[in-house]
């Protein structure tokens, strides 16, 4: 007679428990136990609790390979799903083996759990496990399928609404419910005041301040106070919601004929544009990618999207100042170069158009495509190509939690036929086209922060906190990934012969990059170093980069004068004709502004169910070495958090979007 002790843990989220009958069968190298019901006195599976059970067999089962879990109805009540966290089995020989589950189990469904240390395909030493692995992947590939987002765009999962998502990835709905509540609350406040659907124009700047009666943050109010100021405008291209766009300028583009005479008054006394370019103090934002993007038909008339050029000067006070703006690519008499010395409202309008185009690019590409949708590519490839026992599945999956559910929802809310991007200058089709162009241009080095910063010549520009915090986070993530990857892949040969890993990267290259070799993305891995870099990039993208381009949306976009998704009038073609009235007529109307506000409020909300970067509440690794690596990772993040808090306490405008406690482990909002 042999006894196996089982510790069975139920998740601690609401409704995780079940009244149903749960049975297990232990499968070992020398035989199987009978199907044994887990039944103690009283209710067995309550949220957050661990029950202890015994499975008896006539003799030892040899090496314990699998735990089969089955759930049958208790009575004919309605569906009673169970969230099983882990089953820890202590064998008759006294060895504890962890079988992670971390998923919902539906009635009538059975699940076979793998336990013990993470295994690659070629580490498997039992034919039953090899067969199980093969069966799991065949099933996963039929369950998770690719579907193109649109022609010429990357692929996503094929599920169209959250109810289609398999139990395995259907996480707690608590966050979604919280998000729906947030949307509802602000929406209701606006509705109550008759603002939803209102086609009225904002009368003046004070009228716009009505918005703060409904919702505000300290930063959104700061933005409303300082939006006109050039130094605050410049600072947003470093530490605002889109820190991805400017580059050091070593030569003026031929289509941007800024003269010495134009900008001399804004440079240090006695200096010149040429000498400031030579000193590395001139920066450029060239929006040529948006040239000719189709625009939104508003009441039968096309809106105008600009693809401007904005020149910045890093002045002796170390402030980044906009000094010249041209709103279209082709220079002409009707396309003047606006200057800070122009009529105040001309200059404000020029800055507003640059920001409108920037917001379109930010939301469609830098936020949606490069973090949400690329994050989904990594998620779907992981679900399809790695069995749950694979070390990279265990390492990566916590960074994909909630990504599918939020993206399935986002495709409806943002770019669906009635999505919010419909009320942008370029409409849904335009947003899709911006993504399409950007995907064609996207390179591997541009999504690796150290190379991105170097390629843009921004290594030394002062007060660039996105870069400072981002590079430190990159390095901390890289150290953690290096430790884990080197532990599981002792040699380059191990990387080369891991066929599941090669399949994974091939799927990412095929369905994410559309096999574009010019992108520089790998389509296979040949060395440990290549693998470490790629995994670092994936974790950085879905955590740090998403936080940088997501969390400040309300702060910077609630004040629509600072950045508008939609502009009604074409930009000025001559100088000296505008007024504040022109600006107010150009802005989105009251109904459009509140519709956009409800969305950005939802997307930047602080939710209770956040799992911060480096926290792994779901135990997946059985190896103590991995626990130590995770603890080191957490300690380094915590130290960085202290440094960032200290730095921020000395700044007029703090930058805390990349404080580790504010970064989520995965793309979840
Ligand atoms: Fe987001």
Q: Mind listing the pLDDT tens digit for each residue in 46-105? A: 999 999 999 999 999 999 999 999 998 776 667 788 999 999 999 999 999 999 999 999
Query: Could you tell me the distance, in angstroms and rounded to a whole number, from the CA of residue 368 to the centre of ligand 1?
Result: 7
Q: For residue 138, how many other CB atoms are within 10 A of its CB? A: 10
236 C-beta neighbours (distance < 10 Å), count: 22
Q: DSSP label at 255? A: T
Segment 359-363 shows an average pLDDT of 98
CA 527 – ligand 1 centroid, Å = 32
- Using 50, 70 and 90 to split pLDDT, how confident is the model at 372? very high
**No. of H helices and E strands in the chain?**
22, 18
Question: Ligand 1 centroid to 539 CA: how many Å?
Answer: 15
Of 20 and 395, the structure prediction assigns the larger pLDDT to 395
Residue 183: the pLDDT is 72
3-state per-residue secondary structure call for 177-226: HHHHHHHHHHHHHHHHCCCCCCCCCCCCHHHHHHHHHCCCCHHHHHHHHH
Q: Rounded distance, CA 525 to CA 511, Å?
A: 17
Residue range 97-114: mean pLDDT, rounded: 90
* Whether 15 contacts 47, CB under 8 Å: yes
Going from the Cα of 421 to the center of ligand 1, the distance in angstroms, rounded, reads 14
> Looking at domain 117-162+178-571+588-669, what is its CATH homologous superfamily?
Lipoxygenase-1; Domain 5 (1.20.245.10)
Closest by CA to 669, choosing from 294, 410, 434, is 410
With a CB cutoff of 8 Å and minimum separation 6, the contacts of 76 are none
Mean pLDDT of 574-594: 97
pLDDT of 174 reads 62
Average model confidence (pLDDT) across the chain: 95
Cα 590 to ligand 1 centroid, rounded to whole Å: 25
513 CA from centroid of ligand 1 (Å):
21
- Ligand 1 centroid to 550 CA: how many Å? 5
> What is the per-residue pLDDT for 74?
75
pLDDT at residue 184 is higher than 80: no
Token readout for 419 is: 């999505």
Task: Give 179 Cα–ligand 1 centroid separation in angstroms.
Answer: 12
Report the sign of the C-alpha dihedral through residues 413, 414, 415, 420, in that order: positive
Could you say which DSSP state residue 437 is in? H
**Ligand 1 centre and the CA of 514: distance in Å?**
23
Give me ligand 1 centre to Cα 558, in Å.
Answer: 16
> How much distance in Å is there from the Cα of 486 to the middle of ligand 1?
32
668 CA to centre of ligand 1 in angstroms: 7
pLDDT at 180: 73
* Contact residues for 544 (Cβ-Cβ < 8 A; gap 6+): 470, 473, 474, 477, 613, 658, 663
The pLDDT score that the predictor gives to residue 79 is: 72
Q: How many angstroms does the Cα of residue 667 sit away from the middle of ligand 1? A: 6
Mean pLDDT of 653-668: 96
List the structure tokens of 241: 């919601």
3-state SS class at 105: strand
- Report the separation in Å between the CA atom of 610 and the middle of ligand 1, taken as the mean of its atom positions: 13
Rounded to whole angstroms, the Cα distance separating 322 from 354 reads: 11
pLDDT at 220 over 80: yes
pLDDT at residue 77, rounded to an integer: 65
Is the pLDDT at 414 greater than 60, yes or no?
yes
What pLDDT is stored for residue 175 in this prediction? 61
What pLDDT score does 605 carry? 67
Task: Provide mean pLDDT across the span 149-167.
Answer: 93
551 CA from centroid of ligand 1 (Å): 8
Question: How do residues 476-535 score in pLDDT, each as one tens digit?
Answer: 999 999 999 999 999 999 999 999 999 999 999 999 999 999 999 999 999 999 999 999
- Indicate the pairing of strand 2-10 with strand 50-57: antiparallel
pLDDT tens digits, 601-651: 888 867 777 899 999 999 999 999 999 999 999 999 999 999 999 999 999
Closest by CA to 34, choosing from 14, 10, 18, 58, is: 58
- For the chain, which residues make up each domain, given as ranges? 2-116, 117-162+178-571+588-669
Any alpha helices (H) in 414-569, and if so which ranges? 427-441, 449-455, 465-488, 492-497, 499-507, 528-540, 546-550, 553-557
The pLDDT of residue 668 is 87
Cα–ligand 1 centroid distance for 549 (angstroms): 8
Provide the whole-model pTM: 0.97
Say what the pLDDT of residue 191 is. Answer: 78
Taking the centre of ligand 1 as the mean of its atom positions, its distance from the CA of residue 398, in whole angstroms, is 17
Residue 486 Cα distances to 528, 537, 630, 665, angstroms: 7, 17, 14, 22
Consecutive H or E run containing 234: helix 230-239
Residues above pLDDT 90, as percent of the chain: 86
Question: Tens digit of pLDDT for each residue in 29-43?
Answer: 999 999 999 999 888
Distance CA 14, CA 19 (A): 14
pLDDT in tens, 196-211: 999 999 999 999 999 9
Give the contacts of 72 (CB within 8 A, at least 6 positions apart).
20, 21, 23, 107, 108
Write out the two tokens for 376.
């989904």
- Quote the ligand 1 centre to 357 CA distance (angstroms): 19
Give the pLDDT confidence score for residue 178 in this predicted structure: 72
pLDDT value of residue 336: 98
Side by side, the strands of the sheet bearing 82-90 are 50-57, 2-10, 82-90, 96-105
Q: Please give the distance, rounded to the nearest whole angstrom, from the Cα atom of residue 543 to the centre of ligand 1.
A: 10
What is the pLDDT at residue 170?
A: 77
Angle between helices 465-488 and 230-239 (to 10 degrees): 0
Look at domain 2-116 and name its CATH class. Answer: mainly beta
Token pair, residue 97, equals 């083996």
């Amino acid at each position: 007679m042999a006894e196996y002790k089982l510790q069975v843990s139920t998740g601690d989220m609401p409704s995780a428990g079940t009244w149903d009958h749960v049975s297990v069968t232990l499968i070992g190298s020398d035989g199987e136990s009978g199907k044994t019901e887990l039944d103690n006195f009283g209710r067995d599976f309550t949220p957050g609790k661990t029950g202890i059970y015994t499975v008896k067999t006539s003799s030892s089962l040899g090496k314990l390979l699998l735990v089969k879990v089955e759930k049958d109805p208790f009575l004919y009540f309605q569906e009673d799903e169970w969230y099983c966290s882990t089953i820890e089995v202590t064998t008759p020989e006294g060895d504890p083996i962890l079988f992670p589950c971390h998923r919902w189990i539906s009635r009538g469904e059975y699940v076979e759990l793998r336990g013990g240390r993470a295994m690659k395909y070629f580490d498997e030493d039992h034919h039953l496990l090899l067969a199980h692995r093969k069966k799991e992947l065949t099933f996963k590939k039929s369950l998770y399928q690719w579907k193109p987002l649109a022609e010429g765009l990357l692929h996503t999962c094929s599920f169209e609404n959250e109810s289609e998502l398999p139990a395995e990835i259907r996480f707690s709905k608590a966050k979604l419910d919280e998000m729906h509540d947030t949307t509802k609350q602000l929406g209701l406040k606006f509705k109550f005041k008759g603002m939803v659907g209102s086609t009225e124009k904002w009368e003046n700047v004070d009228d716009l301040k009505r918005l703060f009666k409904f919702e505000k943050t300290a930063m959104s109010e700061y933005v409303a106070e300082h939006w006109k100021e050039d130094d605050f405008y410049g600072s947003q291209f470093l530490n605002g919601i889109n820190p991805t766009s400017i580059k050091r300028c070593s030569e003026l583009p031929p289509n941007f004929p800024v003269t010495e005479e134009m900008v001399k008054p804004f440079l240090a006394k006695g200096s010149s544009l040429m000498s400031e370019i030579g000193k590395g103090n001139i920066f450029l934002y060239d929006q040529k990618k948006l040239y000719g993007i189709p625009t939104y038909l508003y009441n039968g008339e096309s809106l105008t999207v600009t693809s401007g050029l904005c020149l910045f000067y890093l002045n002796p006070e170390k402030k980044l100042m906009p000094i010249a703006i041209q709103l279209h690519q082709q220079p002409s008499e009707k396309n003047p170069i606006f200057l800070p010395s122009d009529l105040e409202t001309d200059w404000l309008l020029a800055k507003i158009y640059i920001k409108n185009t920037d917001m379109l690019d930010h939301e469609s590409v830098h936020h949606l495509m490069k973090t949400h949708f690329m994050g989904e590519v990594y998620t779907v490839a992981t679900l399809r190509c790695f069995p749950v026992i694979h070390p990279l599945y265990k390492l990566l999956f916590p960074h994909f939690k909630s990504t599918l559910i939020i993206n399935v929802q986002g495709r409806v809310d943002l770019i669906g036929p009635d999505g919010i991007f419909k009320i942008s200058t370029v409409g849904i089709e335009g947003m899709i086209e911006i993504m399409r162009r950007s995907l064609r241009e996207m390179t591997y080095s541009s999504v690796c922060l150290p190379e991105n910063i170097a390629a843009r010549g921004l290594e030394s520009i002062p007060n660039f906190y996105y870069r400072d915090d981002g590079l430190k986070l990159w390095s901390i993530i890289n150290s953690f990934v290096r430790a884990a990857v080197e532990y599981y892949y002792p040699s380059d040969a191990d990387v080369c012969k891991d066929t599941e890993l090669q399949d994974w990267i091939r799927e990412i290259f095929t369905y994410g990059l559309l096999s574009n070799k010019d992108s520089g993305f790998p389509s296979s891995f040949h060395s440990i170093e290549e693998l470490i870099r790629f995994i670092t990039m994936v974790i950085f993208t879905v955590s740090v980069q998403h936080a940088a381009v997501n969390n400040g949306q309300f702060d910077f976009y609630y004040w629509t004068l600072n950045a508008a998704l939609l502009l009604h009038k074409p930009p000025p073609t001559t100088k000296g004709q505008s007024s504040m009235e022109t600006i107010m007529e150009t802005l989105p109307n009251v109904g459009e502004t509140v519709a956009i506000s409800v969305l950005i409020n939802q997307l930047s909300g602080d939710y209770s169910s956040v799992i911060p970067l480096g926290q792994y509440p779901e135990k997946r690794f059985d190896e103590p070495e991995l626990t130590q690596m995770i603890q080191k990772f957490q300690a380094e993040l915590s130290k960085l958090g202290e440094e960032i808090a200290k730095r921020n306490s000395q700044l007029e405008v703090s930058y805390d979007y990349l404080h580790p406690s504010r970064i989520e482990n995965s793309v979840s909002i």
